[in-house]
């Protein structure tokens, strides 16, 4: 009699797929997925690579899930197997350091994981999302391995917290890549870890991140609801609270609620100013700084059609552009150029608008989740029947092809 593969089914559900959705993604019939999970047949060799990618598994992990659901025999050693192959120097070094400590986890390992997350969050604005996602997966896998280890309550909470942050960043990257099912699964995981660890700022970021996702899909009412929910959870004075308020302003701008939009902008600027200027400023995705208020104000005002967006957008470009080489721009500069183009089009400064839009598109910093913003400019240029429209459309189509 075939043995059911409940762990395989659980993995599918954790990645946000129904049996039918997974079957569609793999190009097979739903009954095929059902037979896999009932243990009646195995995936064909040509199906395995795609299945591994969708469920975010290594080949060995997939083999384990395809085995009968029996409890694994505990190894004689208490040490945890490294999450990555032995040729992964970074992970191997961490594992060696962890093994010489009294704890199965140890403070040093946790500090290194926390530091690694900070580095990933700092790399976010200037790193292609697909490339960064591979690194997030590696560190998340290591967290999963460590969760089975012996540790103190304090260490356990720290591990849950760093796991929550990594899951949140992974969700953000999936959203950037328009990978909706994976984004949903990681957001749910991040929220669960946040509640278990009693880390409300992470949970607030989950709501804020989902607000951005639905905003990019055009559901502005839902984006507003999620932004307000994030604010109700976020602790006072945290970056999550400021970011959620900024997201509220953007949602209200898209809804045409001018008065409420300006009020949200004022609250963001006041909270950002209270943070002060960091001694060593750096772009950390989950740490708000006053410079971010400029960028969000530029976008929000541009969506309202307010010419006041122009000086904010120009200041972002001036502050953050490392050179005239657009390929070296952080993502925020590309967004500021899109904002500037929208404002200049409204003001009939057409040549400047087309130039700004062209720079943003050619920078390579416009991720798939933001393609719609670039498309707004392209369509506006086309509606005005400007001579630059064909070149701009060609650049946009090239951008889409790269992000596909």
Give the pLDDT confidence of 113-134 residue by residue, as tens digits.
999 999 999 998 888 888 999 9
The pLDDT value recorded for residue 1 is: 43
Domain boundary among 43, 66, 89: 66
d(Cα 88, Cα 396) in Å, to the nearest integer?
38
355 assigned to some structural domain: yes
pLDDT at 396: 74
Is the model's pLDDT at 157 over the cut of 80?
Answer: yes
Token pair 């925020």: residue: 332
Mean pLDDT of the residues in the chain: 82
27: region left, alpha or beta (phi > 0 left; psi from -120 to 50 alpha): left
Indicate the number of domains in the chain. Answer: 2
Q: Of the candidates 37, 66, 95, which is a domain's last residue?
A: 66
Q: Which two tokens stand for residue 298?
A: 């530029």
* Domain hosting residue 391, numbered range: 307-404
Q: Does 46 reside within a domain?
A: yes
Query: What residue has token string 């967290």?
Result: 143
- Rounded CA-CA distance 114/93 in Å is 16
pLDDT at 88: 67
Asked whether the beta carbons of 175 and 209 are under 8 A apart, the reply is: yes
Q: Judge whether residue 61 has pLDDT over 60.
A: yes
Mean local confidence (pLDDT), 231-245: 93
For residue 368, is it within any domain? Answer: yes
Instruction: State the CATH number of the domain containing residue 25.
Output: 1.10.260.40
Least confident piece of the model among 137-146, 366-375, 395-404: 395-404
DSSP string computed for 29-79: -HHHHHHHHHTS----TTTHHHHHHHHT--HHHHHHHHS-S-PPPPPSS-P
Distance CA 333, CA 353 (A): 15
Domain assignment present for 60:
yes
Q: Using pLDDT thresholds of 50, 70 and 90, give the confidence band for residue 2.
A: low
pLDDT in tens, 269-285: 899 888 766 544 567 88
Q: pLDDT above 90 covers what percent of the chain? A: 30
Residues 239, 300, 254, 216: is their CA dihedral positive or negative? Answer: negative
pLDDT tens-digit series, residues 283-325: 788 988 777 888 888 888 888 888 888 888 888 888 776 666 6
Radius of gyration of the chain (CA): 23
Q: Is 224 exposed, middle or buried (0-12, 13-18, 19+ CB in 10 A)?
A: buried
Quick one: pLDDT at residue 265?
A: 92
What does each C-alpha distance from 371 to 54, 217, 338, 392, 398 come to in angstroms? 23, 11, 11, 13, 11
Mean pLDDT of 239-259: 93
113 is a domain residue = no
Model pLDDT, residue 225: 96
Please, which residues have CB within 8 angstroms of residue 17's CB and are 6 or more apart in sequence?
25, 54, 181
**Please, where are the H alpha helices in 217-308?**
220-233, 239-254, 258-275, 290-304
Residue 326 pLDDT > 60: no
pLDDT-derived band at 263, boundaries 50, 70, 90: very high
Quote the CA–CA distance of 195 and 193 in Å, as a whole number. 5
pLDDT at 334: 81
Tracing tokens 């400029």 back to the chain, one arrives at 294
Instruction: Using the 3D structure, point to which of 66, 85, 116 is the last residue of a domain.
Output: 66
Report the pLDDT value the prediction gives residue 70, as an integer from 0 to 100: 44
pLDDT at 325: 61
Has residue 332 been placed in a domain? Answer: yes
> Is 356 domain-assigned?
yes
Q: How confident is the model at residue 69 (pLDDT cuts 50, 70, 90)?
A: low
Whether residue 78 has pLDDT greater than 80: no
In a domain, 399, yes or no: yes
Most confident of 1-5, 258-262, 303-307, 310-314: 258-262
73 band by pLDDT with thresholds 50, 70 and 90: very low
Mind listing the pLDDT tens digit for each residue in 12-54? 888 888 888 898 888 888 888 888 888 888 887 667 778 888 8
107 touches 151 (CB < 8 A):
no
Q: Regarding predicted confidence, which is higher, 238 or 66? A: 238
């Amino acid at each position: 009699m075939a043995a059911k593969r409940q762990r395989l089914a659980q993995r599918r559900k954790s990645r946000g797929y129904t049996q039918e959705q997974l079957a569609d993604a793999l190009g097979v019939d739903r009954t095929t997925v059902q037979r896999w999970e009932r243990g009646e047949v195995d995936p064909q060799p040509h199906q395995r690579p795609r299945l591994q990618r969708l469920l975010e598994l290594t080949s060995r992990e997939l083999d384990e899930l395809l085995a009968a659901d029996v409890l694994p025999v505990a190894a004689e050693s208490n040490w945890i197997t490294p999450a990555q192959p032995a040729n992964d120097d970074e992970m191997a070094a961490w594992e060696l350091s962890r093994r010489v400590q009294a704890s199965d986890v140890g403070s040093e390992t946790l500090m290194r994981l926390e530091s690694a997350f900070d580095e990933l969050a700092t790399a976010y604005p200037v790193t292609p999302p697909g490339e960064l996602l591979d690194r997030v997966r590696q560190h998340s896998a290591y967290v999963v391995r460590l969760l089975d280890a012996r540790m103190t309550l304090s260490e356990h909470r720290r591990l849950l917290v760093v796991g929550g942050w990594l899951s949140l960043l992974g969700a953000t990257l999936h959203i950037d890549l328009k990978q909706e099912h994976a984004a949903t699964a990681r957001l749910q995981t991040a929220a669960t870890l946040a509640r278990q660890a009693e880390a409300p700022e992470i949970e607030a970021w989950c709501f804020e991140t989902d607000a951005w996702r639905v905003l990019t899909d055009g559901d502005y009412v839902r984006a507003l609801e999620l932004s307000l929910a994030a604010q109700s959870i976020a602790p006072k004075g945290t970056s999550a609270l400021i970011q959620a308020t900024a997201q509220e302003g953007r949602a209200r701008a898209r809804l045409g609620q001018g008065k409420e939009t300006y009020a949200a902008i004022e609250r963001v600027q006041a909270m950002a100013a209270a943070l002060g200027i960091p001694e060593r400023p750096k772009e950390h995705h989950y740490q708000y700084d006053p410079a971010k208020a400029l960028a969000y104000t530029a976008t929000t005002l541009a969506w309202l059609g307010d010419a006041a967006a122009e000086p904010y957008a120009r200041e972002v470009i001036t502050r953050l552009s490392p050179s005239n080489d657009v390929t070296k721009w952080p993502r925020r500069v590309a967004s500021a150029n899109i904002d500037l183009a929208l404002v200049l089009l409204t003001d009939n400064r057409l040549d400047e608008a087309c130039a700004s839009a062209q720079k943003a598109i050619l920078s390579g910093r416009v991720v798939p989740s933001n393609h719609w913003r670039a498309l707004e400019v392209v369509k506006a240029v086309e509606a005005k029947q400007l001579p630059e429209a064909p070149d701009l459309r060609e650049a946009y189509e090239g951008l889409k092809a790269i992000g596909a």
